A and B are shown apart, each in its own frame.
Chain A
Amino acid sequence: MSPQMLSLLTDATLQTLSMVLVAGALACLGGIPLGLFLALCGPGDLLPRPALQRLLGLVVNATRSTPFIILVVAIVPLTRALTGTSIGTAAATVPLTLAAIPFIARVVEAAVREVDHGLLDAARAMGARPGQIIRLVLLPEARAGILRGLTLAAVNLVGYSAMVGAVGGGGLGDLGIRYGYQRFMPEMMLAVVLILIVLVQILQSGGEALARKLDKRHLKG
């Protein structure tokens, strides 16, 4: 493997990592509160706001059902307005964030809804306010589930970040397409795929290890 190839791979890996991390962090900022709202504000939930909850649920579903590649193209004006360009790593972060927010919202919602309803009874019987129930019961009990959901989102982001490569987003996907496919360099393609596999493995096992550490529901042998 030539030094040029190596430097290309290093740059592309760093670009992918920055896209995943920045988009992931931004999407958490939007997705976690949104997920909590979806889980807590439905009809019969702790803080019912059924109309708004339904509306946001519809928006989340609409965003999630738009194919990612179409989303990337469709929001180019927004991307330009935010980053001043529609190509490159920074520009790619915008659709990645936008796609990850509803995904994270749904996994957070699912994790919070998984918490045993009996715990809510117990907390209410102890005179807890809704805010205390969320802070002292729901979030601590759901944290392992939320973390597993975020791991899933991060792995998905790696995949999506490769996809934005196809439309000039930079990163490993871009490298794989331009060198591996268009210039017919199978060794480059192989290197890209291997790096992606390793990235996903690290994310998955890191997330799972942390979730297991936080999860006290089962005895560990």
Chain B
Amino acid sequence: MVRLTGLRKVFGGKGKPAVTALDGVDLIAPTGSITAIIGPSGAGKSSLLRAVNLLERPDSGSVVVGGQDLTGLSEADLRRARQSIGMIFQHFNLLANRTVAGNVALALELAGWPRDRIAPRVAELLDLVGLTDKAGQYPAALSGGQKQRVGIARALAPNPQLLLCDEATSALDPETTRQILDLLRRINRQLGLTVLLITHEMSVVREVADHVVVLEAGRIIEQGDVTRIFTHPQHPTTRDFLAGETGTRLPAALAARLSPTARPGDVALVRLHALGPVAAGPVLAGFALAGVAASLVAGRVQALKEIPFAALVLALKGDATAIAAEINHLRAQGADIEELGHVAADAVAFN
């Protein structure tokens, strides 16, 4: 559905320091999928998303949406192409002086729909996002979540093939975020809509994404299926993002005491990512059976696409060969295990 090739974008120049927002980005978002682009602030996420409908024209590279290269289109053709690409925004960007129904109708007026077809379509969309009773209200009377629902209804009004979400949940509280993400998921499934979203929150990725693209300093450092990224993250930045989301980031005091080599009496710290039966299984008991004392330092078990997903930091005390054997056993079952290093036993309350 979306194919971006060799996108480059540099801001500034002419006396101001140049900032490279996009440094050669290639990306494919398959039809009907939800692709999440994640990265720290300043990574170029927003520039990347805004390049897809050419709100920000890249300096070079091609943007193909639904088989059509947008970069070569005339202004008029580009405007027509944009009507099949919906977009929602962090701050909703609703017209304060139009009612909820009026805001949704705007998209159809701009797309040149005849008057008599607009009202029924607006009613249909408000029903889809659950705001039928708010049709006559102005945005000022709505909560953040309701405003974003209006934004979604507006974006979907002209039946787009693609929906771009620019930090669509970043201004919302966690519960509202979950509801909006559920709505996006439902729309994706019901309408077969392709969704491309940017976020700085790994929880958003975990809840809705099929594919993940990790962006850093204008480059894609890692991309893949969400399950693969969560269970086998490769790049240190991805690992760090993931550690933040799964609560397996080591406390600074503990991280400072990590040593790559073991001194006598030390315990080994490992970070384990596992999905499905391994995650739900008796991981700690497995170590115990191998004669290794395993204690849980940090982590949690969450749902990833409705499958249990464990991200745990374990402190392991015991014979090095027994530890290695059990780690290999878990790896053979599909777990991703990162050996973080060794600390003195008292650092993790082993005595």
B-binding residues in A (CB < 8 A) = 116, 118-119, 121-129, 132, 136-137, 140-141, 143-144, 214-219
Contacts and interface: CB of A to CB of B under 8 A. Distances in A.
B96 interface: yes
B110 A132 contact: yes
B89 A126 contact: no
Interface centre among B83, B107, B110 (most CB of A within 10 A): B110
A128 B110 contact: yes
Contact of B82 (A116, A126, A144): A126
Given A141-B96, A217-B97, 14 more contacts: A118-B91, A121-B89, A122-B93, A122-B94, A124-B55, A124-B82, A125-B87, A126-B158, A127-B81, A127-B82, A136-B109, A136-B110, A216-B96, A216-B97
Contact of A217 (B79, B96, B164): B96
A207 B222 CA distance: 58
Nearest to B50: A121
B75 to A, nearest CB: 9
Contact residues on B (Cβ < 8 Å of other chain), bracket: 20 to 34
A216 B93 CA distance: 14
A118 B82 CA distance: 16
Nearest to A142: B97
B111 A121 contact: no
B228 interface: no
User: Top 8 nearest A-B pairs by Cβ distance?
Assistant: A127-B82, A122-B93, A118-B93, A125-B87, A127-B79, A216-B138, A127-B83, A217-B96
Contact of A219 (B83, B89, B140): B140
A118 B83 CA distance: 18
Contacts of B93: 116, 118-119, 121-122
Contact of A141 (B53, B89, B97, B154): B97
A152 to B, nearest CB: 20
A118 B96 CA distance: 12
B167 to A, nearest CB: 12
A143 B82 contact: no
B162 to A, nearest CB: 11
Interface in B59-110: 79-83, 85-87, 89, 91, 93-98, 106-107, 109-110
Contacts, number: 73
Contacts of B109: 136
Contacts of A141: 95-97
Contacts of B96: 141, 216-217
B87 A122 contact: yes
Nearest to A140: B97
A143 B79 CA distance: 26
Contacts of A123: 106, 110
Nearest to B166: A121
Contacts of B303: none
B119 interface: no
A96 B178 CA distance: 59
Nearest to A216: B138
A140 B98 contact: yes
Contact of B95 (A125, A137, A214, A218): A137
A217 B140 contact: yes
B280 interface: no
B195 to A, nearest CB: 15
Given A136-B110, A143-B97, A122 B89 contact: yes
Contacts of B139: 216
B53 A125 contact: yes
B79 A129 contact: yes
B140 A118 contact: no
B262 interface: no
A141 B102 CA distance: 13
Interface string B209-220: 000000000000
Contact of A127 (B110, B138, B141): B110
B55 A136 contact: no
Contacts of B164: 125
Nearest to A120: B93
Interface string B141-157: 10000000000001000
Contacts of A136: 106, 109-110
Nearest to A218: B140
28 contacts: A116-B93, A118-B89, A118-B93, A121-B87, A121-B89, A122-B87, A122-B93, A124-B82, A125-B55, A125-B86, A126-B82, A126-B107, A126-B110, A126-B111, A127-B80, A129-B79, A136-B109, A136-B110, A140-B97, A141-B97, A144-B97, A214-B97, A215-B97, A216-B96, A216-B97, A217-B140, A218-B140, A219-B141
Given A126-B106, A137-B95, A219-B141, A121 B55 contact: yes
| B87, B98, B106, B138: residue with the most chain A Cβ atoms closer than 10 Å | B106
Nearest to B53: A125
Contacts of A122: 87, 89, 93-94, 154
B13 to A, nearest CB: 15
